[in-house]
Every structure is written in C-alpha cells, then in structure tokens.
Structure 1
Amino acid sequence: MDIDAYLDRLGVARPAAPDLATLRHLQERHLAAVPFENLSVHLGEHVVLAEDELFEKIVRRRRGGFCYELNGLFAALLRELGYEASLHAAQVFRPDGTLGPPLDHAAIVVTLDEPWLVDVGFGRFAEHPLRLSGVDTQLGEFLLLDAPHGDIDVLMDGKPQYRLERRPRPLADFAPMAWWQSTSPESHFTRSLTCSRPTSQGRVTLSGDKLIETVEGVRHEVVLPSPEAIRAAYRVYFGMALTKLPTPPGESPLTSGALSPTLP
C-alpha cells in the first residue's frame, strides 16, 4: 500500500506513533474526506473486496464506498501504520427492532491497551473510537450493551444500530453479502442512491438530484435543476469528478442480480 498517498487523501501527515490520539484524528479525517456512498451500485461497477482494487477506487480515483469498502481499506491502512486492527461482522437493526442478516455490516476493532470500535462506513455514526472493554457502557450519545453469544449491541441516541460480533473476520468473508447488497432488489443500496459525509457544522448528502445540508441541526434541501448541477455538486461537496452520473434506483444494470460475487 502507498501509505503516503492514502494519508494525503485524508489530508494528514504520517503519524509518529500508533496511539489513541492518532487513531481519533485518522477516523475523524477519514469520515470528513471519504464519503459514504453507493454510486457503484448505480453506475454498473463491480464492488470488488480486494485491497488493491479498493485502494484504486478510494485513493487513486478519490471515490467513497459503503461499509465493506471503507472499513476494509481503512483497517488495512491502520495495520500498515502499526495498529492491531481487525474486521468484525455486524447485523444491522431494522426500524422495527429486528436484526438484519449476518455480515450485514463490517466494522473495525482496534486493540491498544484495550479494544476500541472504529467505524468509517456506517453513514451518520461516531466520529471517534468507542471503548469496547466495558459492558453497559454509556459513551455520550452511544450506549454499548452485552448481547447474546458474547456479541455487543451498539445504540445511538437510545436506538439500536447494530449487533457486533466479537470474532474477527477476513475481508473475503464479506464478499457474498457485498454482492447481495449490490444486486438484490431487496437491498437498501439498490433501492436508494446516496453520497454523504459529515461537515464542521453538520452533514451534507446528495441523493439523486436532492442536495441536503444539515447546519447546526437545521435541514436545508434543494432540488438540483440539471445534470450539470448534479456533477458540480459531486465535485464541490465530495471532490468527485464523475464522467457519468449514476442511474436512478430501479434502472441500474446491477439490480438484475445477474452478476456473481467478485472474490479477492
């Protein structure tokens, strides 16, 4: 991995030591610089869970991705920087409180003197590591609770977000679910189009032709009038120079389910 190129993508200098302060800064910068987005699903692009492919997409092409891509590559960077970082599967809670399928989400656990949850691939979530060593632990707006089979439930603002496995997994374990998320008509990612990142005052999201900015808790939404305006928004707000725009949900070539999982 070209560590310097990745750090340049994040806008940070090479750190002196793999400590908690540096981890906090790296997570904060990753969230700000690399958007959570599912454009590949609507651009006819394969989602390939191999570190070299992810590096090309996220660092060289200055794109974003969803959880398997963002946390998969960020975990690799952390290991290159001297951290003990592993990927862990999670099941995402649905709005009705039931759990989604296994390996529905990928997050990172970094072990320093104690384990920390790091997640740059869940959209709106913690901007800094969450301590995992305690049980029934309140961390600001986040609450971590013991769950069955030794798993951990992560709540935000009192609402369950996902159930995290304790066991580590290789990136390849997530390839079949990444394929399902990218192709199934039942997947949230085939039924929606989003590109989002936090800002210093809130959050900015581009969903199709809708540009949504939240500033100090106040939501502002505008419909962009033309493809040129949409391209400009991707460039200005997310640093993306797209040669073509993603197809609206329901029309993407990947939603047919005709593609097979692409394994590393």
Structure 2
Amino acid sequence: MNVQAYLKRISVTKEEPLTLAYLAKLQNNHMENIPFENLDVTRKVEIKLITERFFEKVMGNGRGGFCYELNGLFQQLLSKLGFHSQLIACTVRKTEGWAKADTHAAIIVHLDEPYLVDVGFGDSVRQPVPLNGEERTDVSGTYRVMQTEQESFDLQRFEENHWKTLYRFTTTMKYIEDFAEGCLYNQTSPDSTFTHGDIVTIATPDGRITLSGLTVTQTKNGQKEKWELSEEEKSAFIEKYFHIHI
C-alpha cells in the first residue's frame, strides 16, 4: 500500500502522532473524499476480497466502494500508520428485523480504550466512538455504542426522541477473507440492499449528498432537499458530485 497516495486521496497532508484527534481527522476526511457506492454490484462487476484490487479501484481509479473495500483499505492504512486496529463483523438492523448476520465489516481501533471506526456505512458517525456508552455528535447526528450482553455491542443513533440501533457487533478480530460469504451475498442476493439499484453517497462538511436510483437527497445543516434525475442526467451527476466516471 502506498500510504502517501492514500493520505493525498483523503486530503491529509502528513502523518501525525497516533492520537484520537488524528484518527478522527483520518476518518472524517475519508468520508468526505471517498464515496460509498455499489456501482460495480449493479453492473455485475465481481468484487473479490483482495486488498490490492481495492487499492487500485479506490486510489488508482478514483472510485468508492462498499464496506469490505472501504473499511478493508482503511484498516490497512491505520495499521501502516501504526494504529493497533482490527476488522470486526457486524449485523445490520433493518426496518423490520436484521440483515444477514455478520455481513458488514467495520473496525476497532485500540488507543486509551477501544473505539469503533467505520468509513463504509454510508450516512453514519464521522468520528471514533468509544464502547463505553459515551455520546458523540457530528453533523450527521448523535451516536453511542452500548453493550447489550457480554462481548456484544450496538451502534445507535438518536432519532425522533429515541435511540435507534444501526448494527450489532462483537470485538472478535476478523480478516478480510472472513467476509467472503457476506461479500457474495451482498453482490448477488435479492435480499441484499445493494442489488436493487445504484447507491452513491458522500459526506460533505455541512451534510451529505446521496443518489439512490434516480433520486437525489441533499442534506445541508439538517435540512433535506430531494429531486429526481433522468437517466440521461445520471452519469453526469455522478461525475460532477462523486468524481466517478462510468
């Protein structure tokens, strides 16, 4: 991995001491510079769990990716910089019930205590969250990680006057190869969120911009605006706002 090329891609000018503040900068800048997207999935381009291919796609070709690609790469970057980090498996909470177990990849970083870090979950927290229940707030919302039982934790966001669970995880170390079944499922299953249409989303300093199918949702300072694109407008929109050429 070319660490300097990676840092340049996420607009981080230099390596710094391994502090929580530096980790937070890396996470936030990653989410503001590299989109979450499933464009290979919907175009039947196979995604294999090979980090060298992730790097070529995201750094070499200026693309984004989904959780295995983005968190797989980011965890490697953190390790190269000297952070004590590991991948973990998570189960996403859906509107009704749970998604397929352990099919989301995220990261634990050990500093003074363990922190959840995730650059591959779309509209979510932009800074490390400790596992001790302390709240963290950024432009996307207020979050916490609560222990539910021994070695099991929930990432939660405060919405409509209550805490909503986004996903559940344990701190068991995983390797990228452990997600092979989940990666195949998320590329091929009709039950996968990612097989039903294009999803591209990126954080902005004051909100987020998301394309889902032909629907654009732009959030600025908590205010949402939606509009529809035509098929003819879509490719130009993706290139302008996400810097991805299809």
Provide the rounded CA distance (Å) in 1 between the counterparts of 2:126 and 2:56: 25
Among candidates 217, 222, 234, match of residue 238 of structure 2? 234
Alpha-carbon displacement from aligned partner over 1:181-229 (angstroms, at most 9, x marks no partner): 10011111112321001112211011232222112222222222342x2
Contact 2:42 2:196 in 1 (8 A): no
Contact 2:42 2:197 in 1 (8 A): no
Alpha-carbon displacement from aligned partner over 1:16-42 (angstroms, at most 9, x marks no partner): 322211111110000000111111111
- 1:29 equivalent to 2:29? Answer yes
Provide the rounded CA distance (Å) in 2 between the counterparts of 1:147 and 1:166: 13
Residue 127 (structure 1) aligns with: 126
* 211 and 100 in structure 1: CA distance in 2 versus 1, 3 angstrom threshold: closer
Provide the rounded CA distance (Å) in 1 between the counterparts of 2:101 and 2:228: 36
Q: How does 1:56-135 map to 2 (within 5 A)?
A: 56-96=56-96, 98-132=97-131, 134=132
Which one is further off, 217-226 or 179-188?
A: 217-226
Q: Which amino acid aligns with 2:117?
A: V
Provide the rounded CA distance (Å) in 2 between the counterparts of 1:194 and 1:93: 18
The CA deviation at 1:239 is 1.1
Q: Secondary structure at the match of 1:206?
A: strand
Residue 161 (structure 1) aligns with: 166
Provide the rounded CA distance (Å) in 2 between the counterparts of 1:82 and 1:73: 14
Provide the rounded CA distance (Å) in 1 between the counterparts of 2:34 and 2:124: 14
The CA deviation at 1:63 is 0.8
- 1:198 equivalent to 2:198? Answer no
Q: Which amino acid aligns with 1:171?
A: I
Which one is further off, 230-239 or 74-83?
A: 230-239
Which structure has the highest strand share of the two? Answer: 2
Q: Secondary structure at the match of 2:194?
A: coil
Q: Secondary structure at the match of 2:195?
A: coil
Q: Which amino acid aligns with 1:236?
A: K
Q: Which amino acid aligns with 2:135?
A: Q
Residue 137 (structure 1) aligns with: 134
Provide the rounded CA distance (Å) in 2 between the counterparts of 1:110 and 1:31: 17
The CA deviation at 1:100 is 2.5
* 24 and 138 in structure 1: CA distance in 2 versus 1, 3 angstrom threshold: closer
Provide the rounded CA distance (Å) in 2 between the counterparts of 1:79 and 1:66: 20
Provide the rounded CA distance (Å) in 2 between the counterparts of 1:221 and 1:144: 31
Provide the rounded CA distance (Å) in 2 between the counterparts of 1:11 and 1:50: 24
Look at both structures and tell me which one has the larger radius of gyration over its CA atoms: 1
Provide the rounded CA distance (Å) in 1 between the counterparts of 2:220 and 2:136: 24
Q: Secondary structure at the match of 1:189?
A: helix
Residue 261 (structure 1) aligns with: none
Q: Which amino acid aligns with 1:7?
A: L
Count of residue pairs the alignment pairs up = 238
- 1:184 equivalent to 2:181? Answer no
Q: Secondary structure at the match of 1:147?
A: strand
- 1:223 equivalent to 2:220? Answer no
Contact 2:116 2:129 in 1 (8 A): yes
The CA deviation at 1:13 is 1.4
Q: Which amino acid aligns with 2:58?
A: I
Q: TM-score normalized by structure 2? A: 0.92
- 1:150 equivalent to 2:155? Answer no
The CA deviation at 1:75 is 0.3
Identity %: 36
Residue 218 (structure 2) aligns with: 213
- Residue ranges of structure 2 left out of the alignment (5+ in a row): none
* Structure 1: 4+ residue segments shifted above 6 A: none
The alignment yields a C-alpha RMSD, in angstroms, of 1.4
